[in-house]
A and B are shown apart, each in its own frame.
Chain A
Amino acid sequence: MDNTIVATHDTHAEEHHHSLPQLRHHFETEEQQREAGTFGMWLFLLTEIMFFGGLFFAYLLYRNWYNPAFVAASNQLSIPMGTVNTAILITSGFFMALAVWAAEVRKQSLLVMFLILTTVFGCAFLGVKYFEYKEKWEKHHIPGASFDVSEFINPPVSAKTGKPIEEPLSPDMARKTQIFFVLYFAMTGMHALHMIIGIVLLFWLIARARKGDFSSGYVAPIENFGLYWHFVDIVWIFLFPLLYLINRHPGT
């Protein structure tokens, strides 16, 4: 073995004409560049896991400490809206997955279409979220000075059974519903913020996709954005049962 630092043959010159224009000079091959990009994106998602992780732990703690308050407050959320929104978000993610496929098989018009569908469903999710937030506003369930606990202390009486529809809470416990709503807004708000950032990026990707940037073999931005978008989905997949479905069988 030769004991020096020898050089590889300069294969660059030959490689260059069939490599992508997007190959940056410090990478040897496209493969290396693509894998570096994916790996970098995953590491970024790890930071996201830990970022949301802090909130999830806070949720776990207070849900156990103030379980009755969490149950009562959770039941104020609308199951139909939550379920529909979950479906909408999953659909958006599904189209994103298809968009990645379209880019990989270099079908430009399909790619653009799927990206647009991803965006549309993403916006629909935010739209539903808006109505949910609005309802909370009307019911005075936004934490803060105007937060109203009376409904948790004296729940409305059901017409059918003549009993309160919800277990009444002691005033002290009722005040803890505010913690639930704080976490609800913090977690869904942080999630929505990620959605908004994603949608802005989607507009940019759509514009570039229409120019054909991603349908000639250069798919990294689409793939990596897809990872981000699916991650945001995953956060919601956990948020939905944790926030909406704590205990939907009162009295039994």
Chain B
Amino acid sequence: MSSEYHDPANVNNPEHADHHIVQPGTYIAVYITLLVFTGITVGAAFIDLHILNPIIAVGIACFKAVIVMLFFMHVIYQSKLIKLTVSAGFFTFLILIAMTLTDYISRAWGRW
């Protein structure tokens, strides 16, 4: 019956993860990546790539946001619960966007 005991140190518990100390080296690497991609995104904006421009801009922003979350915010070392929570937030945000767009896009087929 021991498996039924609530054991905070139980590593099989999906809600639990060890407290991991991220080392400054990782932070520095992430920091530099962020700066580099800031430069890239500015540069990309000056080249005409038509529809690709906004896609690249948002893509880079997403990439930056993801590494901030994974490393600065330690999500990569966190429990499944936290990972799920973060994804749930973005999922709901996507619902807001996608479902509202079903109206706006189909209200003006072709002109959107």
Give residues in A with beta carbon < 8 Å to B.
Answer: 1, 8, 28-29, 31-32, 34-35, 38-39, 42-43, 45-46, 49-50, 53-54, 56-57, 60-61, 64, 79, 83, 86-87, 90-91, 93-94, 96-98, 100-101, 104-105, 223, 226-227, 230-231, 233-234, 237-238, 240-242, 244-249, 252
Contacts and interface: CB of A to CB of B under 8 A. Distances in A.
24 contacts: A8-B5, A28-B8, A31-B16, A32-B8, A35-B16, A46-B92, A50-B92, A53-B96, A56-B97, A60-B97, A83-B39, A86-B38, A87-B35, A93-B72, A100-B22, A101-B24, A104-B21, A223-B74, A234-B64, A234-B68, A237-B64, A237-B65, A242-B61, A246-B54
Nearest to A42: B85
Interface of B: 1, 5-6, 8-9, 15-16, 19, 21-24, 27-28, 30-31, 34-35, 38-39, 41-42, 45-48, 53-54, 57-58, 60-61, 64-65, 68-69, 71-74, 78-79, 81-82, 85-86, 88-90, 92-93, 96-97, 100-101, 104, 112
A61 B58 CA distance: 15
Given A101-B21, A234-B65, A35 B79 contact: yes
Contact of B69 (A50, A87, A234): A234
Say whether chain B's binding surface is mostly helix, strand, loop, or mixed: helix
A71 to B, nearest CB: 11
A241 B64 CA distance: 12
A61 to B, nearest CB: 6
A139 B87 CA distance: 41
Contacts of B42: 79, 83, 245
B23 to A, nearest CB: 7
B2 to A, nearest CB: 12
Contacts of B27: 94, 97-98, 101
A42 B75 CA distance: 10
Contacts of A35: 8, 15-16, 79
Given A50-B96, A97-B27, A39 B8 contact: no
Contact of B72 (A46, A230, A244): A230
B67 to A, nearest CB: 10
A90 B34 contact: yes
Contacts of A49: 89-90, 92-93
Nearest to B57: A241
A32 B17 CA distance: 11
Given A31-B8, A54-B96, A56-B93, 7 more contacts: A1-B1, A49-B90, A53-B97, A90-B38, A226-B72, A230-B68, A240-B38
B97 to A, nearest CB: 6
Contacts of A244: 45
